[in-house]
Amino acid sequence: MRTAYHDQSSFLSNDRNKSGFVALLITYLKAAGNTVHQAPDDADTLIAEVALEYAAANHPVRVVTNDTMDW
């Protein structure tokens, strides 16, 4: 049986749905010629590492963030 979801948060709260969506998105981004990096957990460190690697290779880098954490 499949569940009908009425909103994004309900859909993505299911780990199987989220994993499937991420896999699908990665497939389409790679097929369109994009480089994809997937963080196993929190992406903050991976974002910084990849930005520094690109900058070190003289590629233009711009990181725009909207941190969702409430401190």
Task: Give me the DSSP letters along 18-32.
Answer: HHHHHHHHHHHHHHT
φ, ψ for residue 10, nearest 5 deg = -65, -45
φ, ψ for residue 18, nearest 5 deg = -65, -45
Q: Which residue has the higher pLDDT, 51 or 65?
A: 51
Query: In which band, very low, low, confident or very high, does the pLDDT at 66 lie, cut at 50, 70 and 90?
Result: confident
Least confident of 15-19, 61-65, 66-70: 66-70
Q: What is the pLDDT of residues 4-56, one digit of tens each?
A: 777 888 888 888 988 999 999 999 999 999 999 998 888 888 999 999 999 99
Q: What distance, in Å, lies between the first and last C-alpha atoms of the chain?
A: 41
Distance CA 45, CA 64 (A): 14
Distance CA 59, CA 13 (A): 36
The answer to pTM > 0.85 is: no
